[in-house]
A and B are shown apart, each in its own frame.
Chain A
Amino acid sequence: KNQVEQSPQSLIILEGKNCTLQCNYTVSPFSNLRWYKQDTGRGPVSLTIMTFSENTKSNGRYTATLDADTKQSSLHITASQLSDSASYICVVSASNAGNMLTFGGGTRLMVKP
């Protein structure tokens, strides 16, 4: 069964600090891995998309890494801001499933001043 596990479930950090969120998956055959940011009451917004051959991708202060051998990904947030407070969702697509995605449970990040 395809699964995506994220850790930690929640995280509190101080403004200006860095943090790393983790994602482990068992989706097969692998197509791509996406990180989304979801603010409360709004739909998810795409941060990065990585295919099998990509092991790092950045979007501003967000840097995602992918290790397809160990089936792990991380999202690193640099110099956090209050606006980074949101849920971060890891999503994995199987290559035989079109747009049918497997979602992780998300990490709820709170950045405090």
Chain B
Amino acid sequence: KAGVTQTPRYLIKTRGQQVTLSCSPISGHRSVSWYQQTPGQGLQFLFEYFSETQRNKGNFPGRFSGRQFSNSRSEMNVSTLELGDSALYLCASSGGTDRRAPLHFGNGTRLTVT
């Protein structure tokens, strides 16, 4: 069974630009959640999608948005990039109905904003 796939693995963008990251969950998983990881703040929850609907949202500004498609693939968009948005962005998938189920993480997209 293929794992969670995130593309691209690396991105370099300029301040003010926007970026779209992609996440393909494990086949059959309906929940996809997104996280930002930085050396200073650690891992922080961005949002979760389940069956194309946003189910939870973390404490991030509106510049961070996402969506989920009918095949459960998800995209995350960051508009008007700031230097502080440089981070590793991780997505994770799970079945979505059992809160105790483990999250399966992808290897992330490393975003650098210059």
Task: List residues of chain A with CB within 8 A of the CB of B43.
Answer: 44, 89, 91, 103
Contact between chains at A100 and B105 (CB < 8 Å)? no
Which of B11-19, B75-83, B96-104 interfaces with chain A?
B96-104
Contact between chains at A43 and B58 (CB < 8 Å)? no
Nearest CB in chain A to that of B105: its residue: A43
Instruction: Check: B25 CB closer than 8 A to any chain A CB.
Output: no
Q: Which of A38-66 contact B (CB under 8 A)?
A: 41-46, 49, 51
Contact between chains at B99 and A98 (CB < 8 Å)? yes
Nearest CB in chain A to that of B46: its residue: A100
Complex CA–CA separation, A42 to B44 (angstroms): 16
Task: List residues of chain B with CB within 8 A of the CB of A93.
Answer: 99
Contact between chains at B55 and A98 (CB < 8 Å)? yes
Task: List residues of chain A with CB within 8 A of the CB of B94.
Answer: 99
The one of B99, B104, B106, B108 in contact with A99, judged by C-beta atoms closer than 8 angstroms, is B99
Task: List residues of chain A with CB within 8 A of the CB of B44.
Answer: 103
Contact between chains at B106 and A43 (CB < 8 Å)? yes
Instruction: Check: B87 CB closer than 8 A to any chain A CB.
Output: no
B binding-site residues for A, Cβ under 8 Å: 4, 31, 33, 42-45, 48, 55-56, 58, 90, 92, 94, 96, 99-100, 102-108
* Extra A-B contacts (20), CB below 8 Å, given A34-B103, A43-B107, A89-B43: A31-B100, A32-B99, A32-B100, A43-B4, A43-B105, A43-B106, A46-B103, A46-B104, A49-B100, A49-B102, A93-B99, A95-B99, A97-B56, A98-B55, A99-B31, A99-B48, A99-B55, A99-B99, A102-B45, A103-B43
Considering the complex of A and B, which 9 residue pairs feature the smallest CB-CB distances, nearest first?
Answer: A43-B105, A46-B102, A103-B43, A100-B56, A105-B42, A43-B107, A98-B56, A99-B48, A42-B107
